[in-house]
């Protein structure tokens, strides 16, 4: 029989094991949902998922709660979860909300005073992006995506608000909502390259506004910047071959409108 000391010291190991299993289940389920292995409306049976993922029920339940919080699952009134579906309106709303939150992050960064180090980092990223936005090759788009994500991640940190950062991360976890979600899917389309040039100019304006402590201006630029993703969304939705390559595309539903068979 374990002594009180042995029980006490063993507890953190169990907690750590559960946390590790929960993280593994969360990452695996998120990837499988976004890749289309689960379809909208599919019920997430605990018994089958325990066997599928090789984790115990407690960490699995925690992972399911986290995925519901992210918006990928829907809680049923009678208990349990199903995979959520997303409409075009859902994606538009997510992008608009991201714009509001990123606008707040930019305003906070401007009003609270950005360090020279952070401003220098943003300018360095922009300098690296400038030659890429005029290139048409896929490798340039890949490098652009990495740099773009680094820019936005730095901006979130500069807001100096852990609450805002956590809220933004929840929105960014939704399909199509992140700043770079749709870039690689239309790397060879001329209109997409034009959008990247505009996005780069907006980044420059953001840095200037934050450096000048112009909170309202930074807020407005960030919101307009997010709306470029709405243009990208329409481009991808009009090209079904591109849409199929986007993580989370299997979760999208399209309501027919009219006799022509067009989608809303």
pLDDT of 98 reads 95
| pLDDT tens digits, one per residue of 74-109 | 999 988 999 999 988 888 999 999 999 999 999 999
Instruction: Report, as an integer, the average pLDDT of 128-153.
Output: 88
CA 106 to chain centre: 18
- CB-neighbour burial class of residue 24 (10 A; exposed 0-12, middle 13-18, buried 19+): middle
Residues 235 and 104 in one domain: yes
pLDDT above 70 as % of the chain: 85
pLDDT of 11 reads 46
Establish if 245 belongs to a structural domain: yes
Residues 103 and 206 in one domain: yes
Total tally of structural domains belonging to the chain: 2
Strand partners, 75: 81
pLDDT band (50, 70, 90) for residue 252: confident
pLDDT above 90 as % of the chain: 54
Taking the C-alpha atoms of residue 130 and residue 200, their distance in angstroms, rounded to an integer, is: 7
pLDDT band (50, 70, 90) for residue 17: low
pLDDT of 186 reads 60
pLDDT band (50, 70, 90) for residue 2: very low
| H or E stretch at 193 | helix 190-211
Taking the C-alpha atoms of residue 64 and residue 42, their distance in angstroms, rounded to an integer, is: 13
- As separate numbers, helices (DSSP H) first and strands (DSSP E) second, the chain gives 10, 4
| pLDDT tens digits, one per residue of 46-73 | 999 999 999 999 999 999 999 998 889 9
Residue whose pair of structure tokens reads 């699952």 in the numeric block: 73
Domain boundary, last residue among 45, 68, 83: 83
CATH number, residue 205: 1.20.120.530
Mean pLDDT of the chain: 85
- In order of 75, 123, 131, 140, 200, the CA distances from 135 in angstroms are 45, 20, 7, 6, 13
pLDDT of 45 reads 93
| Structural domain boundaries, residue 133 | 88-251
pLDDT at 245 over 50: yes
Backbone angles phi, psi at 214, to 5 degrees: -95, 85
Instruction: Report, as an integer, the average pLDDT of 197-215.
Output: 96
- Helix then strand then coil, in percent of the chain rounded to 5, is 70, 5, 25
Supply the DSSP string of 64-81, one letter for each residue: HHHHHHHTSEEE-TTS-E
Residues 79 and 95 in one domain: no
**SS3 call for 82:** strand
pLDDT of 219 reads 98
pLDDT of 250 reads 84
């Amino acid at each position: 029989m374990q002594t009180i000391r042995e029980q006490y010291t063993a507890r953190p190991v169990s907690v750590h094991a559960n946390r590790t299993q929960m993280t593994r289940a969360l990452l695996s389920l998120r990837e499988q949902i976004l890749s289309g292995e689960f379809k909208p409306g599919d019920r997430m049976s605990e018994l089958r998922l325990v066997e599928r993922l090789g984790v115990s029920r407690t960490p699995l339940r925690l992972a399911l709660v986290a995925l519901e919080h992210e918006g990928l699952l829907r809680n049923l009134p009678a208990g349990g979860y199903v995979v959520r579906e997303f409409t075009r309106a859902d994606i538009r709303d997510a992008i608009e909300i991201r714009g509001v939150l990123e606008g707040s992050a930019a305003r906070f960064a401007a009003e609270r005073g950005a360090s020279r180090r952070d401003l220098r980092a943003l300018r360095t990223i922009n300098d690296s992006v400038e030659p890429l936005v005029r290139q048409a090759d896929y490798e340039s788009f890949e490098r652009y995506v990495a740099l773009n994500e680094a820019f936005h991640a730095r901006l979130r940190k500069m807001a100096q608000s852990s609450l805002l950062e956590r809220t933004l991360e929840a929105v960014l976890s939704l399909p199509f909502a992140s700043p770079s979600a749709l870039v690689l899917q239309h790397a060879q389309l001329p209109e997409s390259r034009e959008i990247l040039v505009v996005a780069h100019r907006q980044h420059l304006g953001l840095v200037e506004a934050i450096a000048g402590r112009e909170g309202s201006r930074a807020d407005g630029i960030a919101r307009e910047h997010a709306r470029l993703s709405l243009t990208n969304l329409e481009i991808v939705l009009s090209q079904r071959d591109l849409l199929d390559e986007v993580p989370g595309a299997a979760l999208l539903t399209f309501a027919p409108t009219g006799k022509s068979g067009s989608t809303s």
